[in-house]
Amino acid sequence: MLSAYLAWKREQVVAALASRGLEAPVEEARPVPLASRRRAAFALGRAADCLAFGYGAARSHDIVDISACPVLSSSIAGRLPKLKSALAPLLGGKREARVALTEAEQGLDVMIEGIRPSPALFAKLAATGARIGAARITIDGESVILAGEPTVTLAGAQVRLPPGAFLQASRESETVLVGLVKEGVGCAKRLADLFAGIGTFTFALAGSAEVDAFEQDEAAIAALAGAARTTPKLKPVRTFSRDLFRAPLSPRELARYDAVVLDPPRSGAKAQAEALAASKVPKVVMVSCNPGTCARDLRILVDGGYRITRVVPVDQFLFSPHIELVAELER
């Protein structure tokens, strides 16, 4: 990977921290290989003189038709032309539909939104499922086909993948992030995994520590809980469905943990950072896909007495301006 490109990615993290008056050791950006992205969102719609299936053009409503993409895993990229021909008839009179693809172990999880095809087209799509490599197709949440419940394996735990549940962008970046989080919590024995999703960090950490996983999405936390029940050799995993924006863990609730991992959505975790800043938790590991909100929340933690000991950018959104990062803090 070009060093100038990775330096540009790293600089975004340095600049975000500096904008909040934070000086921290920011390591080189960790690269992620081409052809690794296992989830992506596409648009299906009308372009000037054809039907397009691809990405939204920058700062416009145009759709850029694609038949290949070097960032995508081969099981997604190799199926783009077939997906386009199978999905095109569904559009009918509509201007645009959104299609999210996730690579699961049984095949693609295809989530379509914004169209309501006729029963005949619905049936036709169901019949083409195998040809496009789909394990599941849903339209606006309704199942069209379910060849077998899609699953992903997270640190040895086989987890059901609810439609639309969060998954790190590539298996390779997941490995890097999990490694950094494990290094960050060190030998802590009682952990909280906040914004846990389906358990990317929970299962990796539960090999050697008790983990309490908190997540708002009920389908995601149910999938995590189900996998925790059937995975051998885990330390105790407890699961909680909770909105951490409205009801962050209080300093009193946080008192039982040796370390807290938090991986919020792009808007960050301001309320939870404020509660952590007032807590006595010795270690915090923050994972974020938005350096701006992450820097805001890190500032809150630093003002509460934490020191940032390590920051590692992870280039999991290849060739886009976005960058993931992991920050370690202690008090």
Ligand X SMILES: C[S@@+](CC[C@H](N)C(=O)[O-])C[C@H]1O[C@@H](n2cnc3c(N)ncnc32)[C@H](O)[C@@H]1O
Least Å from the CB of residue 44 to ligand X? 25
- Indicate the residue among 63 and 224 with the shorter CB distance to ligand X: 224
Instruction: Please report how many Cα atoms fall inside a 13 Å half-sphere around the Cα of residue 82, on the Cβ side.
Output: 15
Report the alpha-carbon distance of residue 309 to residue 145 in Å, rounded: 48
- Smallest CA-to-CA distance from 237 within 273, 204, 264 is with 204
166 lies in the binding site for ligand X (CB under 6 A): yes
Report the alpha-carbon distance of residue 214 to residue 252 in Å, rounded: 16
257 to 286: interface string for ligand X, x by CB under 6 A = ------xxx---------------------
Task: Confirm whether 187 is a catalytic residue.
Answer: no
Residue that is written with structure tokens 């699953």 in the block: 151
Catalytic residue among 69, 187, 289, 294: 289
Report the alpha-carbon distance of residue 56 to residue 64 in Å, rounded: 6
Least Å from the CB of residue 185 to ligand X? 14
Report the alpha-carbon distance of residue 168 to residue 331 in Å, rounded: 29
Least Å from the CB of residue 299 to ligand X? 20
172 to 211: interface string for ligand X, x by CB under 6 A = -----------------------xxx--xx----------
Output the 3-class SS for 65-79: ECCCCCCECHHHHCC
Distances, alpha carbon 54 to alpha carbons 157, 185, 206, in Å: 33, 40, 39
Cβ neighbours around 112 below 10 Å, total: 23
| Span interacting with ligand X, options 34-42, 56-64, 182-190, 237-245, rule CB under 6 A | 237-245
Least Å from the CB of residue 183 to ligand X? 16
- Indicate the residue among 91 and 205 with the shorter CB distance to ligand X: 205
244 lies in the binding site for ligand X (CB under 6 A): yes
Report the alpha-carbon distance of residue 207 to residue 328 in Å, rounded: 20
Least Å from the CB of residue 264 to ligand X? 6
- Indicate the residue among 89 and 226 with the shorter CB distance to ligand X: 226
Indicate which single residue of 105, 183, 218, 243 sits in contact with ligand X (rule: CB under 6 A). Answer: 243
DSSP symbols for 110-149: EEEES----HHHHHHHHHTTTTTTEEEEEETTEEEEESS-
Least Å from the CB of residue 84 to ligand X? 29
- Indicate the residue among 87 and 326 with the shorter CB distance to ligand X: 326
Cβ neighbours around 61 below 10 Å, total: 10
Residues 103-132 that bind ligand X (CB under 6 A): none
217 lies in the binding site for ligand X (CB under 6 A): yes
Q: Which residues are catalytic?
A: 289
Binding positions for ligand X, rule: CB under 6 A: 166, 168, 195-197, 200-201, 215-217, 220, 243-245, 263-265
